[in-house]
Structure 1
Amino acid sequence: MSETTVRPLALVTGASSGIGLELAVQFAEHGFDLIVAAEDAELEGAARRLRELGAAVSPVRADLTRREDVEKLVAAVRGAGRPLDAAALNAGVGVGGRFVETDLEAELGLVTLNCAATVHLAKRIAQDMVARDEGRILFTSSVASQAPQPFQAVYGASKAFVQSFALALREELAGTAVTITTLLPGPTDTEFFDRADLTDTRLGASDKKDDPAQVAEQGFAGLMKGEATVFAGSLTSKAMGRMSALTPDTAAAKTMKPVAAPGSADT
């Protein structure tokens, strides 16, 4: 039997850059082969980097807002010829700005990717893992899941959905050998703020964002330990995340409002 057939296999979505790519790096550095998915052309460069770490890598270009592309990715996983040992469901987008002014199609697309596609993919993966009674699933949530997010209203709600869904699934699967972990990063130095149109906010303009490699390392470690929730990043980010979970929603929303307001970077 060749070495590649005995290495564990992991799936990472949103793997072309940012936290997703760094999660894939963690898997590769810890002896996993990979199926990596993203919709953009950066995926090929990410795959090359991962192969340099010794992993066998299968890139799948997929737009997970399309159900047929989710099923295409599921088919790639099931057709790999070996079981899926771990999955990091990381793909997601944000939309910033005043809700009455933001683009409806962009926000409906956000809900489809962050919520519906996550449920769709998790359903297929969890069913297969439970049938085998083995596996690990990591959901990339956010500290934004812990409190209402003015000027990121739909994004914050989508991450609250992911967090609630993942923790409920974890409880359902208690007693099986399938573990569910959520990763809650704070503001991280990725393309997220550019893509979400948040660069003119105090939140987006801050030079104190966390390193995505650090976030991914902590998330991977938590996944391997079977932890329920991983607040990731710097000590400050971790503390702020835990504090936001304890703060009443109305107070938390008032705290978030000035840092996420459009144009707040100039104030």
Structure 2
Amino acid sequence: MRLPVLTFDIETLTDVKSGAHLYGLDLPEADLNSALAKLRRQESGTDFQRLPLHEIVCISGLWLDEHGMKMFSFSREHDSEAEILTKFLSIFDKRHPTLISWNGSQFDLPVILFRAMYHGLSAPSLFDQGEIDTQKRYNNYQNRYHQRHVDLMDVMAMFHGRHFMKLDDAAHLLGFPGKRGDGAYRVPEYVRAQQWQALTSYCEGDVLNTWLIYLRWLLLKGQLQLTDHQHLVQSTIQYLQALPQHAEFLSVWRETSRQTEFTQFDFPPPTH
């Protein structure tokens, strides 16, 4: 494993202001969401908005380096979207982590690119493809076949779109928590009600599931030996035990781990 490693995820809302500008809508703000959703369904048959209209409300990450593990979140509780992006992008100015995501090459990174451009931000450390640092011609964060950014959804599908899986399904199949509760997408509710801890816990849960799948991927590829894999899993459990907001994640993980022959050993029975 090449350190440091940054596993990340973003959460978004529809940018109704930009959407109104794009479509020339003169409507009360309360009506814009439904109008934009209707227009999008007419265009594409889905409510899922164009990537530039995804306004970022949270970016979470799990950082691993030679000093240990650290979870973080930048959210709209304290920061504007531009400030969230500035904080996240500054990570790449200081270090050049191996970036891990689920669907990051098709969603998270393009959204970050568009929204950074919208706010007039500069991020050469993340988006340079060799124009500044010639070494990045051969290993950059955009090329799907490079290892600087590993999009697990992409690589596990062997780069065939028909094999893509949802993070929730992949996590469950491997014995990890996946989405807890009913699995509904509640980000708009969390933001509207200013339930910031619920928002960051949701985003961090996706990060944790992605991280655990990444460890299994490294084991498959022989980039981690079994003992090292077990050590990192146990280190993750120990780290989360010190984070009260992830008590539910640990509890669900303990239950789901019993469903596969391999993950049943993640939580060994207590000794008497």
Q: Is TM-score (shorter-chain normalized) higher than 0.5?
A: no
Scaled by the length of structure 2, the TM-score of the pair is 0.30
Scaled by the length of structure 1, the TM-score of the pair is 0.30
